[in-house]
Amino acid sequence: MAENDAPTENNVPSGDNSKPPENENEISIDALAKKVQESLSLSKRHKFWETQPVGQFKDLGDTSLPEGPIEQPTPLSEVKQEPYNLPGPYEWITCDLDSEEVCNEVYALLTNNYVEDDENMFRFNYSKEFLRWALRPPGYFRSWHIGVRVKSSKKLVAFITGIPAKIRVHDAVVLMAEVNFLCVHKKLRSKRLAPVMIKEVTRRVHLENIWQAAYTAGVVLPTPITTCQYWHRSLNPKKLIDVGFSRLGARMTMSRTIKLYKLPEQTATPGFRKMEPHDVPAVTRLLRNYLKQFVVAPDFDENDIEHWLLPKEDVIDSYLVESPETHEITDFCSFYTLPSSILGNQNHSILKAAYSYYNVATKTPLLQLMNDALIVAKKKDYDVFNALDVMQNETFLKELKFGPGDGKLHYYLYNYRLRHVLRPSELGLVLL
């Protein structure tokens, strides 16, 4: 979920910082205000999160605490068998995403109520096909796709999801839930519905004998395992400027800006091609080997790779390099498609964004591989290519003309303590 002039606390794309500051004083005061804000939010009370088995702010820096689960699992018979109570007018439902009708309802709730940037200029617009892909990986539980309806009208007003994932933390491979798509209808905000949603998904995760979770948020909660930043590479600078996503840099004209971001028509790497089903074993080996170097990373098997990385039109794109001589698969790159609605613009309603997913370079320079990813994204008419500063991404961001966003994305683990916070480059996990 994914910035500059529009300061955002979440990860919706809302502009980039690549322009030089027009007024150094103004920028530094902004930065200062942000730091003050951040330190204030550290001392903020969290009535809900303080009751949960998560790293607490008071324990930050206390390296005497053991790494690993904070609470031990309870016998399944002791897990609460009935759902948590909702306020009277509402009822729980399990969302069947096989149903076109349910999928439409979830899509409509998220399209109208999910994450926006701080200036409310953009809102994530996950497609139905994307949601189906994101929520039905191998071994998924339908009971973890949770909705809340108004009893009388049956209108869907809140949503939260989990999917199972094996995640390695240092040397321990832990079965976790990846929790995502928490959304409460705009008219029902600030009524403490979110904590009930979180407790209910946690209960249903426990019922499957799973006791840990991973999640991300634009807001600071107790306590991030790392804090990442989105970077944005303009592909269609004119549109990005027209819709207020980015601004013309000082002393820049539109035509100079267009020239600055222009990309070659053709990819540069010999043997660069789309990933196909027969590549699954090779890509699994490549990615498993690559992800070993990170402190927190998914533990993917071939089924996971088939699901998460085989190309799906307008959902996930994956390319690899097959050596023209040896036919060995040496490099790999991928991005997912997450458009944002442009709110209140006369000329444009959708921003087409590509998000860097997993990339591995063993023979091709990573810079060249990612430039080829930019070239295919441009050809496919994406307006912007976004990437977090995770894994080795910092090594290509500046050189490939990505600009830093001002939205932060915080990563969290539930019921698992890490002794040290991580640098973004120590994280090998991308959540959708």
Q: Which residues are catalytic?
A: 432
Stretch that binds ligand COA, among 71-79, 178-186, 252-260, 374-382 (CB under 6 A): 178-186
| Per-residue binding letters, 261-300, with ligand COA (x by CB under 6 A) | ----------------------------------------
Tell me whether residue 51 or residue 266 sits nearer to ligand COA (CB atom): 51
The reply to whether 193 sits near ligand COA by the rule CB under 6 A is: yes
Which of 53, 195, 244, 424 is the binder for ligand COA (CB under 6 A)? 195
The reply to whether 182 sits near ligand COA by the rule CB under 6 A is: yes
Task: Look at residues 130, 133, 126 and name the one whose alpha carbon lies nearest to residue 108.
Answer: 126
The reply to whether 205 sits near ligand COA by the rule CB under 6 A is: no
Q: Binders of ligand COA among 101-160, rule CB under 6 A?
A: 113-115
The reply to whether 43 sits near ligand COA by the rule CB under 6 A is: no
Tell me whether residue 176 or residue 373 sits nearer to ligand COA (CB atom): 176
Q: What is the DSSP letter of 142?
A: G
409: left (phi over 0), alpha (psi -120 to 50) or beta: beta
Q: What share of the chain is helix, strand, coil (3-state, %, to 5)?
A: 30, 25, 45
* Separation of first and last alpha carbons in the chain: 7
Provide CB contacts within 8 A for 294, sequence distance 6+: 391, 426, 427, 428, 429
Tell me whether residue 1 or residue 263 sits nearer to ligand COA (CB atom): 1
Looking at beta carbons, which pairs linking 167-174 to residues 24 or more positions away fall under 8 Å? 167/212, 167/214, 167/296, 167/297, 167/298, 167/299, 167/429, 168/291, 168/296, 168/297, 168/298, 168/299, 169/67, 169/295, 169/296, 169/413, 169/416, 169/418, 170/67, 170/295, 172/68, 173/299, 174/212, 174/416
Instruction: Give the nearest distance from C-beta 383 to ligand COA in angstroms.
Output: 22
Tell me whether residue 49 or residue 57 sits nearer to ligand COA (CB atom): 49
The reply to whether 187 sits near ligand COA by the rule CB under 6 A is: no
The reply to whether 213 sits near ligand COA by the rule CB under 6 A is: no
Which of 27, 30, 41, 49 is the binder for ligand COA (CB under 6 A)? 49
The reply to whether 183 sits near ligand COA by the rule CB under 6 A is: yes
How far is the C-alpha of 402 from the C-alpha of 241, rounded, in Å? 15
Dig out the tokens for 157 from the structure.
Answer: 């007003």
The reply to whether 84 sits near ligand COA by the rule CB under 6 A is: no
By CB under 6 A, name the binding residues for ligand COA: 10, 46-49, 113-115, 182-184, 189-195, 217, 219, 221
